[in-house]
Structure 1
Amino acid sequence: MISVLQIIKEQLVNIHLIFRLSVYEIRGKYLMHYLGVVWQFLNPAIQISVYWLIFGLGIRSGGEVNGFPFFTFLIVGIIPWFFINPTINQGSNSVYKQVRLVSKMKFPISILPSVSIVSNLFNFIVMTLIMAVILHFKGIEPSIYLIQYPYYVFCMIVFLYATTLLFSTISTIVRDFQSLLQSTLRILFYLSPILWDIKMMPAFFDPIVKLNPIYYIIDGFRNTFLYQKWFFADLNIMFYFWVVTLLMLFVGAALHMKFRKKFIDYL
């Protein structure tokens, strides 16, 4: 508990530093590209088009999913994934990449995963606004259920920080873990109900899919924008998500505090 409180305190005290470093990271990432930050939106647009062509027009022959066009179903589920996937990859490698630079100065290493989260958050916000415009033209207008949108964003950010804090510690100590994580995320993309509806699968597969905490987030976004269901409609999955997330946060904080002074020894 003490480790978690210390970690939270470091985030709050250094909030301005987190945002400043995030801006530098965004600028530096596309500094040598002619299109600059446009690539942050061009890459997702290309991927969405490919998935829509293959899974929407190809495999499904343009069919609907729960009364919604496949493209609408796809974009609401895949936009949070475009935030989750790079954040976990970058955040899990953030300590290993930067620890040489900050090891000899008084720097709160625990904010490095937060920098990755905030740097990708800008992209997520812009893509969400674009998604809202697309939904408008598809005839799907905002409803009262939109008030739970901040809750699901909060869930996603807490989950991502808990995950990247834990994984960044493990990845620094055991470098093979980063390669394993990248492969696992590719598998999770297809196992999570992003490209397909969970109702299409046999009943025994349902509880297995819901063991993945990302399912709760993806389903929450669709409940908010498409299905109009409240976040407390399924208290069991909600309770499970927060138990897993908080457990990862406590374990991640404990490991981080235990090894943070020894990170440089593992390089």
Structure 2
Amino acid sequence: MLKDLFSIFKDIFTNKKLLMQFSYNDFRSRYASSTLGIFWAFVNPVVTVLTYWFVFDVGLKSGLTDGKYPFICYLLTGIVPWFYFSDVLGSATNVFREYSYLVKKVVFNIRILPTSKLISNFYMHIFFMIIAFLVTILNGYYPTLQTLQIIYYAFCMMMFLTGLTWITAAIQPFFPDINQFIGIIMQTLMWGTPVLWSINTFPPVVQMVLKANPLFYVIQGYRNAFFSEGWFWQHPALSIYFWVWTIVLLLVGSVVFKRLKPHFSDVL
């Protein structure tokens, strides 16, 4: 397992220039065929944020958070990493079918394809993080040294997604219905992750169950970084739990990818 894992990371590092160029081209081509181009990349997330804000804060005044922060700040700092997770998982799962013409070329190293989706979606992620920073600053929450932890949590998200998408992308050519399963799971996961609500509104027993979701660590970490609420090493149990999950996904993903890769061209 370790040999397979190191082999994939070695290929990614060796082809880093090609990977960066490919991810940039992927980002550009995604909206090249539409009249308004990249404008559409901003519309859906912005409309989603405004809808949640209006419904839950203005309309229902639901009190999903503990009232410590303005709801729009709380929402943005949680939904920005969620958008990145959702976009990468959806696009990277389909990457081998999307680029089937490259999969059939012996000379092209297809190991970089899932990673290219992580990077191409990261461009938009940076933009929305800037928006989140502007909104939080306008509400009086200024960056501190602890805010730099966003770099760490972004790395956590990318590593977690790397292992997960190696599995889903490798399975998708043989089982296209995996996209439907992911869609259903994402709907459930959205409400089981602290994107719209604060974990402090639940009893301790329920909090323990909710923290079993590995995404809790990353999304709550983003929020803590935005609001400068402590350092990640102050939560050693959660950190160890998350990295155990991530390492397992990376190991399993590298093996699954290696076993299924020789058969991609037969089914695509």
Q: Distance in 1 between matches of 2:267 and 2:84?
A: 29
Q: CA deviation at 1:84?
A: 0.7
Gaps of 5+ in 1: none
What is the TM-score with the length of structure 1 in the denominator? 0.95
1:185 counterpart = 2:186? yes
Give the deviation of 1:64 after TM superposition: 6.2
Aligned amino acid, residue 94 of structure 2: N
The residue aligned with 1:35 is 36
Q: Deviations over 1:236-265 (max 9, x none)?
A: 111010000110000000111112111122
Question: Does the 8 Å CA contact 2:214/2:245 hold for their aligned counterparts?
Answer: yes
Alpha carbons 2:78, 2:222 under 8 Å: kept: yes
Q: Kindly provide the CA deviation profile for residues 36-76 of structure 1, in whole angstroms up to 9, marking residues without a partner as x.
A: 11222222111100000111122226886341111110000
Paired residue for 2:9? 8
Structure 2: how far apart are the matches of 1:32 and 1:168? Answer: 25
Alpha-carbon distance in structure 2 between the residues aligned to 1:174 and 1:266? 10
Distance 2:16 2:85 in 1: 21
1:95-134 mapped onto 2 (5 Å cutoff): 95-134=96-135
> Cα gap change, 1:227/1:261 in structure 2, threshold over 3 Å: closer, same or farther?
same
- Quote the residue 1:232 is aligned against: 233
Contact (CA 8 Å) 1:63, 1:69: kept in 2 or not? Answer: no
What RMSD over aligned residues (CA atoms) do the two structures have, in Å? 1.6
Deviation at 1:223, TM superposition (A): 1.1
Residue 57 of structure 1: SS of its match in structure 2? helix
Matches within 5 A, 1:1-267: 1-60=2-61, 65-226=66-227, 228-267=229-268
2:65–2:197: 8 Å Cα contact kept in structure 1? no
Q: CA shift at 1:82, angstroms?
A: 1.0
Instruction: Give identity over the alignment, percent.
Output: 30
Shift of 1:227: 5.1
Q: Secondary structure at the match of 1:31?
A: coil
